[in-house]
Amino acid sequence: MVYRRDLVALLAAGPRTASSLARELGLHRGDMAEELAHIMRSARAAGHRVAVVPARCKSCGFLFGEDKLTKPSRCPACKGARLFEPLLTIET
């Protein structure tokens, strides 16, 4: 079971990707997306600043939207699969 306050503490400690959080907590990356979306909404409602460095294609530089919290599978522009994951952090 994931405790959201633990996720908030990890994100407040520094920028993290969904994959690194899932690895640390022993979860699947897909399960992390739902938790992250809830945490981001809750943090904003509590008055914290949420920073998202969007996912980016390594080949063509295409930037995904900040609403995409997990690594996309392919770039819609060049169809490449080499992508940087989005970085998430909460500034308290």
Token look-up 């080949």 returns 59
Q: What is the pLDDT of residue 92?
A: 75
Residue-wise pLDDT tens digits, 67-76:
888 899 999 9
Q: What is the pLDDT of residue 78?
A: 96
Q: Count of alpha carbons within 13 Å of 77, Cβ hemisphere only?
A: 11
Token look-up 């909404």 returns 41
Q: List, for the chain, all residue ranges whose pLDDT scores fall below the cut of 50.
A: none
- Please name the amino acid found at residue 1: M
Q: How far apart are CA 92 and CA 90, in angstroms?
A: 6
| Residue 92 structure tokens | 């308290």
Q: What is the pLDDT of residue 35?
A: 86
